[in-house]
Structure 1
Amino acid sequence: MKTLQFTEKTAYQGESIYVGIDVHKKNWGICILGDYLERKVYSQPPQPEVLVNYLHTHFPGASYYSAYEAGFNGFWIDRELQRYGINNVVVNPSDIPTTDKNDKRDARKIAKGLRHGNLRRIYVPHQYILEDRLLLRGRQKLLADIKRCKCRIKSQLHFFGIKIPEALDKPYWSRSFRHWLQTKLFEGSAQVLLTAQLEELESIERQKKNIEKQIIALAKGKYNQFVSLLRSIPGIGILAAMTLITELVNMEVLRRQIRCIAFWGLVPNVYVSGETEIVRGMTERHNAFLKPILIQAAWRAAKLDPSLMLTYNQLCRRMKPNKAIIRIAKKLSNRIRYVWKNQISYQNL
């Protein structure tokens, strides 16, 4: 049986081809839809040029539209597809309902949502912003590594029943405490392990200091204007300001106030079924790196700003402090949004 071959370069002129891409490390699940029919569902190597060649070969002259979920691959796929002339969008995975792990079905849902216009594009930052964002995120991960190292060392001390001297009990991890850890507390293998753990801790701390130096250099350099504006808000320091800048990037994307608060994860999870409405904690759909920074800034702001301190004290009379600080964080986020949007220092309001 002969296969149909297209010799005309404009065979699909005026038609639209919608491509759903389910991105994985070793392969991509692809679903190709036309205006009315499903054209092809298959798997391919994780290379944009392979998809582009297939589209130009089998659907020449058409207008190409594609979409994939944001994830571990970042945004380099979007840049490559755009460079090849494909109108690509990157979407939030939460916008695409899934019921199982079938790659073809996931790609099909993405393609159908793209064809029906139900997918909302997320903002794709420039390359230099992404690099600076990873620098801030890398610092937060190093902080978690430092905490784990400290917990391992203390766990080893508790395991062998070694008590920390009262003079060194607080504050933890002072110079005298570290010097005490370096003395011969164990015999044999346990001391070798403790020495290795201390060396790992000091190595990670040096990495964190180097990253913080680079962050401060960026704050005093190309981000100086934005950092100065954000630092005028009580509770916002250099690291918090840099995290806000690299994660938010463009405040115009978050035009509505409620959308901005939801992006920071400061709205509750609400489940509605008929007349039943259930509220379960805070939403899981948010930027995981912004929320903790904003909560930390809210605790500082509640101590530094008289109006926020008064509000916090009033809230604590009718709710727990951890819930009250969420309200303070919302107020702080409104200040950040206003200062950013209007490019005016908070002290001049």
Structure 2
Amino acid sequence: MDQEGKVLAKSRVSTDRPAIQNYLKSLDGLKPTKAVIEAGFNWSYFYDQLAEEIEEVCLAHPLKTRLIAEARIKTDSLDSETLAHLLRSDLIARAYAPSWETREVKNLLRFRISLVRIRTSLKNKVHSVLDRHQVEDNVFRGLTDKFGKTGMKIMRSLELRGNDRAILNGYLDLIEELSRRIAALNKQIKALVKEDEISSYLKTVPGFGDLLGLLLRYEIDNMERFASAKKLCSYVGIVPSTYSSGGKTWHGRITKEGNKWRRWVVIEAVHGAIITSPSLRRYYNSVKQRRGDKAATIALARKLLEIIYHVWKEKRPYYEKELAYTV
């Protein structure tokens, strides 16, 4: 589409890499300088393919762009022509497109989390096998971790009837292999933290360590995008939804905008912050007494994001001090 809105070419193209490259080459003099795609599943594949051939690629926020399109251009769906009209009119609501390097680190961290979740699932299955044979906890008396070296030896030496001996060994083999892979990933993560200045600051915040600090750093990627800590909280999706009608305003549940990983990191950090920080624990308990556990968790998550915002912006470690707060 040209600047006046005239469609110059419209085609259906296969999604494989050579087909995309050949299509762009076939345009010759019509080769575009800008392109736009919606931020849907696997957007990064198409984004990277276009970025190699085109001067600028815009990543459109699906919900916000749809609102603009329905207001400006009467259509029931955001097809390619509608997106092209919005692009030439500079009306695309853009989503943030992190660099390939950032996405690589995020994928590595998410991989590590997925392995831990699989290992936890396998541990639960081991407990089920032990329960079927009434294996009491006193068998593991004195052990802090049933799945440590001593605990694993004890479980492998248990006499179980039928197929459960082989089943238990199979689960334990998988757990040991996953633990080796997770340990190797932990070394990679520590090395990344040492090389990254921001991550070294974030891990000083209560509840955050190497993994959570690094994951949040790359899930946010660029703090300069946010003018305030409130904007950051909104981006993470832990601010209450708002409904207004007839001059009255109601606040509902949190918006949960954006991807789930950002919220998971902050909520996960809340549990550690309650244990390690007396000041944040008092804040959490004060909210909990008045509004309940869930509200207290979200309130402390927002407080942690406010701390993260200032630590990141000012590039300094976090130091514990008394928080001034009202409930």
* Residue 314 (structure 1) aligns with: 286
For 1:75-95, what per-residue CA distance to the aligned partner results, in whole angstroms no more than 9, with x for missing partners?
243233233224311233443
Give the whole-Å Cα distance in 2 for the aligned partners of 1:191 and 1:109. 62
Within-5 A mapping of 1:1-349: 15-16=2-3, 35-36=4-5, 42-47=11-16, 50-51=19-20, 53-54=22-23, 57=26, 60-61=29-30, 63-97=32-66, 106-107=79-80, 110-158=83-131, 160-168=132-140, 171=144, 173-175=146-148, 176-220=150-194, 222-223=195-196, 225-270=197-242, 280-347=252-319
**More helix per residue:** 2
Give the whole-Å Cα distance in 2 for the aligned partners of 1:76 and 1:348. 43
> Displacement, 1:238?
1.7
Per the alignment, do residues 56 and 165 of structure 1 end up closer, same or farther by CA in structure 2, a change over 3 Å counting?
closer
Give the whole-Å Cα distance in 2 for the aligned partners of 1:242 and 1:74. 23
Contact 1:68/1:90 (8 A) holds in 2? yes
Return 5+ residue gaps in structure 1 as ranges.
Answer: 1-11, 17-34, 99-103
AA paired with 1:212?
N
Q: How many corresponding residue pairs? A: 310
> Displacement, 1:337?
0.7
Per the alignment, do residues 202 and 278 of structure 1 end up closer, same or farther by CA in structure 2, a change over 3 Å counting?
farther
Give the whole-Å Cα distance in 2 for the aligned partners of 1:42 and 1:185. 67
**More strand per residue:** 1
Return 5+ residue gaps in structure 2 as ranges.
Answer: 68-76, 322-327
> Displacement, 1:233?
2.7
Give the whole-Å Cα distance in 1 for the aligned partners of 2:157 and 2:82. 61
Per the alignment, do residues 197 and 167 of structure 1 end up closer, same or farther by CA in structure 2, a change over 3 Å counting?
closer
AA paired with 1:190?
D
Give the whole-Å Cα distance in 2 for the aligned partners of 1:154 and 1:51. 51
- Report the aligned-residue RMSD: 3.3
- Give the match's secondary structure for 1:289: helix
> Displacement, 1:157?
3.6
> Displacement, 1:326?
1.3
Contact 1:269/1:284 (8 A) holds in 2? no
Per the alignment, do residues 278 and 200 of structure 1 end up closer, same or farther by CA in structure 2, a change over 3 Å counting?
farther
Contact 1:96/1:109 (8 A) holds in 2? no
Taking structure 2 as the reference length, what is the TM-score of the superposition? 0.80
AA paired with 2:299?
R
Q: % of aligned pairs identical?
A: 24
> Displacement, 1:172?
5.5
> Displacement, 1:348?
10
Taking structure 1 as the reference length, what is the TM-score of the superposition? 0.75
Give the whole-Å Cα distance in 2 for the aligned partners of 1:189 and 1:304. 44
